[in-house]
Structure 1
């Protein structure tokens, strides 16, 4: 089936329209509607869907989006809730940014500055807060914060960082031979719970649906971590529907990379995941949990797919650093809104906790951004990120400043106007007309270094592989 036939099938099944267009102690519970009586706050479930290497523009909606990719279920989510159009990773590499999501802190604060490290035991994590508030907290999928074990069983206890149950593995990409462990450490494919050849995200969606069904009467925090669209870019056959010769490539992809087949597999993997996401949304509806559940969709980092001739992640360019962020919570997040307030993945922990009705955490460097929703206003802020001792970058307003480590020195090498030059084709770092803006961005950069205890341009400290 090609992309055209897939679209026709979607039309038949009614999808085409969407393509185009707890409280323990002080709390009390009524069904799955949980309240904090002391604070007068309603507690909501959370379904947090986290994907690996999905760039901001590879959705069927949004500014400068890839026009060929098919994501009807995520497009529907955006229409029902909020699309944060300017979300950036703290550190666009797997382990570092995953740690930022669950701690609300930058990797150079936690030591998680490269892959295959173990999050230090003293770090306070989001699931700990939910579990202590009486939630059933459950993790499914790739973890990548428990050292270098591959695939690696994450044992019960502190290494699960507050998740009371866990069905997944530490690291690796095994999409048709999943090494998913049960909560007790049995590999599912060894005990008949998974058959090799089946698509791993389908298994993980099944596990999430089972967990939510079994916890309809309890407040829950369910974190689903999918491996695709990270390579090897091999979608299931029914979603291998894209043809390189018929695809549109971003304007910053050089001519010799136009027609590359990597984008075929990348988009196919995205459309396959969109289908699984749709199954999760249908389950919430069927279980009568839609109105009681905050849904969050985001990624650890993006993928260059040859924009600027580059590959994979870890770059300051938009395709790598800028990631999707969608949220839905009926009655609390107005439908169909796009907020251009800058938000970092370090802001997710305090923001999600606030939306769910929990108290503000005191350990986060990131901040609660809920004020930016529903037409609200937040002071003009900036976002900050980087990778090891290679680069740092700041985005504020329309502009991005990139600072690189050159011979041990921090040097501002590139600057872009993302409003007039969204594909970053023209470096304006030396233009005198933007000197004031450049100076302001440099001041922001220095403030962020201080706020996040960043040693750049020196290599940041590293956590251990095992504690």
Structure 2
């Protein structure tokens, strides 16, 4: 009897071991996802992209660009905070999810990336800036408006990066504060999350959203700022001389934020290595939009120039993707379905972006010829009184084309004119290209059922109330 009982125990133990092995194999087939993005980091501002001020100063980004897929023509489809974030979460364009201005609320009933990963059995986490709740920039965000993210250390929006940077943790109604420079504190928190979850069999999907290098520019810790003397800053050739002094001052601070974040990214990469999950983790680095920083005498974002629309987009997934550059244009709504594709998860109904996961893995050729760029209605720093206007446009491998309500507005050959100093829209020689791009744009708008109406029509449709600068007033 004792012998039979011993044999039963052996069989049970073997079954448990076999089940554990099967679970482990399944877990290995389901990659983790660590999505890291900054605020207002333009695509040109890295060492690997050739910024002379950052050569040798973004070593971790440079390494990630070599080890992963570098999407060199990635654009922020609507280059401003809230619209990008809503497109990232939903895989939809702004006219579908309705967030084409800052401080509008995202419908909590929409299918979002956090909900999809959670339903697939992932642990989900979000740390940092949110900016799609629309109930006040310092307001507590209840669980039903967190779009599937369980681990939660978030504030709607702040750009106070030092000591007073607040957040809410989980369901605690009392605000907490990040110690020191908030991006470093947020990174440390994410490192702890990664280490804890690497010890389990359950995959995680985690988002880290930094507030920098968005202005205020000169607020990075001193050890980073001292590396960029204002007098040594090299300007892009499209910064007019009249703006040079202010541009150098702001850029010195901007670059200081950038190298601080590069160091944070390096810490995250080291943690993935130490936890033994590097190969089975999709690591993404990107930004919600760029920053003009006085190129063409302009500031901030929303505009169709490359400084505003182009963003870094690096994707490392050693188990399936080799390191290489891809010049295919890709837009904000494409990120969600592409990540789901890399994770072997189904694309939900209602997603409008394209799944380019097979392009990233090398199983399909880069086929997309153009990514949409747009401004549904100008607001904030780029209000109508400051030259703001509605536009729809395209970013291709070679050209940027934008049409406003009056017709063709901008056309740049980015290969011959990388600083976009010569508008070809009225050039007879460029007329064939202009007609081709205009026809492509018309087709894309038809696919989106976008009638390209004045911004006021969309403001009225969605019931938004705006101030004199076309901005939704917000509560701090």
Report the more deviating stretch, 256-265 or 282-291: 256-265
Question: Partners in 2 of 1:32 and 1:92 — Cα distance?
Answer: 42
Asked if the contact 1:396/1:441 (under 8 Å) is kept, the reply is no
Larger helix share, 1 or 2:
2
Give the match for residue 133 of structure 1.
120
Give the alignment partner of residue 68 of structure 2, picking from 33, 57, 81.
81
Secondary structure (helix, strand or coil) at the match of 1:73 reads: helix
Give the match for residue 445 of structure 2.
449
Asked if the contact 1:78/1:326 (under 8 Å) is kept, the reply is yes
Per-residue deviation at 1:33?
5.5
Question: Partners in 1 of 2:249 and 2:182 — Cα distance?
Answer: 22
Give the match for residue 421 of structure 1.
417
Distance 1:463 1:111, change over 3 A: farther
Q: 1:102 and 2:89 equivalent?
A: yes
Question: Partners in 2 of 1:33 and 1:247 — Cα distance?
Answer: 51
Give the alignment partner of residue 149 of structure 2, picking from 163, 167, 172.
163
Give the match for residue 380 of structure 2.
none
Distance 1:189 1:162, change over 3 A: closer
Give the match for residue 181 of structure 1.
168
Per-residue deviation at 1:380?
4.3
Q: Which segments of 5 or more consecutive residues in structure 2 lack a partner in the other structure? A: 1-18, 378-389, 465-471
The 5 Å alignment of 1:29-108 reads: 35=26, 42-62=29-49, 65-69=50-54, 70-108=57-95
Q: CA RMSD in A?
A: 2.0
Question: Partners in 2 of 1:119 and 1:60 — Cα distance?
Answer: 35
Per-residue deviation at 1:165?
2.3
Output one character per residue of 1:341-368: Cα deviation in whole Å (capped at 9) or x when no partner.
Answer: 1101110001011112212333211101
Asked if the contact 1:88/1:345 (under 8 Å) is kept, the reply is yes
The 5 Å alignment of 1:161-240 reads: 161-176=147-162, 177-187=164-174, 189=176, 194-195=178-179, 198-216=180-198, 217=200, 218-233=202-217, 234-240=219-225
Per-residue deviation at 1:181?
1.2
Output one character per residue of 1:283-316: Cα deviation in whole Å (capped at 9) or x when no partner.
Answer: 1111111011000011110001111111111110
Output one character per residue of 1:259-278: Cα deviation in whole Å (capped at 9) or x when no partner.
Answer: 42000000000000111111
Give the match for residue 8 of structure 1.
none
Distance 1:30 1:99, change over 3 A: farther
Give the match for residue 242 of structure 1.
228
Report the more deviating stretch, 375-384 or 89-98: 375-384
Q: 1:434 and 2:430 equivalent?
A: yes
Question: Partners in 1 of 2:44 and 2:52 — Cα distance?
Answer: 9
Question: Partners in 1 of 2:294 and 2:25 — Cα distance?
Answer: 47
Report the more deviating stretch, 440-449 or 140-149: 440-449
Distance 1:187 1:211, change over 3 A: farther
Per-residue deviation at 1:35?
2.8
The 5 Å alignment of 1:1-400 reads: 35=26, 42-62=29-49, 65-69=50-54, 70-157=57-144, 159-176=145-162, 177-187=164-174, 189=176, 194-195=178-179, 198-216=180-198, 217=200, 218-233=202-217, 234-240=219-225, 241-259=227-245, 260-335=248-323, 337-375=324-362, 376-389=364-377, 390-400=390-400
TM-score when normalising by structure 1: 0.86
Secondary structure (helix, strand or coil) at the match of 2:167 reads: coil
Asked if the contact 2:373/2:395 (under 8 Å) is kept, the reply is no
Secondary structure (helix, strand or coil) at the match of 2:166 reads: coil
Asked if the contact 1:33/1:219 (under 8 Å) is kept, the reply is no
The 5 Å alignment of 1:452-467 reads: 452-459=448-455, 460=458, 461-462=461-462
Question: Partners in 2 of 1:85 and 1:293 — Cα distance?
Answer: 22
Secondary structure (helix, strand or coil) at the match of 1:401 reads: strand
Report the more deviating stretch, 446-455 or 96-105: 446-455
Output one character per residue of 1:354-386: Cα deviation in whole Å (capped at 9) or x when no partner.
Answer: 112212333211101123235541324211121
Per-residue deviation at 1:162?
1.2
Question: Partners in 2 of 1:371 and 1:435 — Cα distance?
Answer: 35
Question: Partners in 2 of 1:452 and 1:298 — Cα distance?
Answer: 25
Report the more deviating stretch, 366-375 or 104-113: 366-375
Per-residue deviation at 1:430?
1.6
Asked if the contact 1:143/1:169 (under 8 Å) is kept, the reply is yes
Distance 1:377 1:243, change over 3 A: same
Asked if the contact 1:393/1:445 (under 8 Å) is kept, the reply is yes
Per-residue deviation at 1:84?
0.4
Aligned residue pairs, count: 422
Output one character per residue of 1:36-83: Cα deviation in whole Å (capped at 9) or x when no partner.
Answer: 8xxxx9210000001100000001112xx3111221111111111111
Asked if the contact 1:120/1:463 (under 8 Å) is kept, the reply is no
Asked if the contact 1:83/1:326 (under 8 Å) is kept, the reply is yes
Question: Partners in 1 of 2:106 and 2:157 — Cα distance?
Answer: 14
